[in-house]
Amino acid sequence: MNILIVGSGGREHALAWRIAQSPLCERIYAAPGNAGIATVAECIGVDVADHGAVIAFCRAHDIGLVVIGPEAPLVAGLADDLAAAGIRHFGPSRLAAQLEGSKGFTKDLCAEFNIPTGAYGRFTDAASAKAYLEGRSMPIVVKADGLAAGKGVVIANTAGEAAAAVDACFDGAFGAAGSEVVIEDYLDGEEASFFALCDGKTAIAFGAAQDHKRVGDGDTGPNTGGMGAYTPAPVMTDEMIARTMDEIIRPTVAGLASRGTPFKGVLFAGLMITAKGPELIEYNVRFGDPECQVLMMLLKSDMLPLLLATADGTLDAVALDWHDGATLTVVMAATGYPGTPEKGSEIRGLDAADAIDGVTVFHAGTKADGNRVLANGGRVLNVTARGASVTEAQARAYAAIDVIDWPEGFCRHDIGWRAIARERGATG
């Protein structure tokens, strides 16, 4: 079977790398891909915003499955247009993708189906948003309703900060994404990224990871798309996974099905594990990046049949198998990230890093220039490793970083700290 992967990040490299290992897979194409993806797939220039062009490519190249990596094409309805053309695809419809496309949509769904999440209000003007703030306890969270590339969230410690965040949203700081504002209670606890494959009716747990959102060591500095991740997440015990499936994932899947907008794809629940148990911070309608990279490396099962079962509605018949141990990924970013990253610097030593036992380097933002690999984004590399423990996986990932020669890049030095502290505690 021929596969088309839509996207250009480390998530898509990890998906391509994993799918390429399937005996069912013949050719992989990626639109647009990157220099790392090009080692396992043919990168093509089709504009993914032009759904007609994507459909024409699929027909001309006998594509058996389109895997849609990022949220933007999902929210734009690529899955709907592929469905109308009779082309099998992995990723939800535009209406189901509202789970990520509108925070207010998700909060209303939670209210309707009794899914645990912080109390909230939705507003389309500053005056009523500020009126709601009166009498709420601090801290409180102010969010632009729409897609804001992870930047539309302010955790306000005072009513003044919250009011300023409301004004910034309505003044256009996040463009159209901020024309509606959600204000919600602050949830206190440990965060986890939880994944479930959903075929519209059946949902199966697909692992949990922990991300590191802040740019600096010790969780300092501005928020990013994610500076590193590992799986499994120790906070997601069997009991927490069962509760998350029963209290959050299954009611969501059943609720969307009952509304006539079934969810097919991977549901990524951003969770806060509070004193009460798992509560939903937000949904994403795609794999996390960099969480996908560690999941693909820990997964032992063939990924392609899982994607096909999700698309075909046969997840009730699949079983999952994972490697023992843990996987961890460290993001290497270009100087300037998460502001404006420097582009075009050369990265050396990638083959030597890849050759280290248990290590795979996924490309997140690179481009090939002849035999050279150049930085071409904010997050550039995902140095990913498997080990018997998070501690061992981390040691391997940083050993690989040591042999990568890229003075213009940087990374955090403490990815996995929470799990490693727990592992140290467990061994005394």
- Give least dist CB 270 to ligand AMP, A: 5
Only one residue has tokens 């063939």, namely 302
Positions 224 through 243 that interact with ligand GLY (CB under 6 A): 225-226
- Is 211 near ligand GLY (CB under 6 A)? yes
Closer of 19 and 248 to ligand AMP (Cβ): 248
137-163: burial string, b at 16+ Cβ within 10 Å, e else: eeebbbbbbbbbeeebbbebeeeebbb
Q: Which residue is at the shortest CB distance from ligand GLY? A: 226
Give the nearer residue to ligand AMP in terms of CB position, either 174 or 406: 174
Check if the beta carbon of residue 370 is closer than 8 Å to that of residue 39: no
- Is the CB of residue 36 less than 8 Å from the CB of residue 363? yes
Cα 287 to Cα 229: distance, rounded to the nearest angstrom: 13
Which range of residues in 50-58, 107-115, 286-294, 395-403 is near ligand GLY by CB under 6 A? 286-294
Residue 251 in the binding site for ligand GLY (CB under 6 A): no
321: which DSSP letter?
A: -
Nearer to ligand AMP among residue 150 and residue 222 (C-beta): 150
Q: Of 199 and 211, which has the nearer Cβ to ligand GLY?
A: 211
Of 14 and 272, CB closest to ligand AMP? 272
- Return the H-helix or E-strand segment holding 245: none
Residue 288 is a binding residue for ligand GLY (CB under 6 A): yes
- What's the closest the beta carbon of residue 64 comes to ligand AMP, in angstroms? 33
Helix axes 303-312, 10-19, angle to 10 degrees: 100
Q: What's the closest the beta carbon of residue 41 comes to ligand AMP, in angstroms?
A: 29
- Which region, judged by CB under 6 A, interacts with ligand GLY, from 58-66, 154-162, 285-293, 301-309? 285-293
Tell me the H-state helices in 90-143.
Answer: 98-101, 103-113, 126-133
Quote the CA–CA distance of 67 and 6 in Å, as a whole number: 6
Other beta carbons within 10 Å of 130: 16
Q: How many chain residues bind ligand GLY (CB under 6 A)?
A: 7
Q: Which residues bind ligand AMP (CB under 6 A)?
A: 118, 141, 150, 153, 155, 184, 186-187, 191, 213, 270, 272, 281-282
Which residue lies nearer to ligand AMP by CB, 161 or 354? 161
Helix axes 126-133, 159-170, angle to 10 degrees: 160
Contacts with ligand GLY by CB under 6 A lie at: 211, 225-226, 284, 288-289, 291
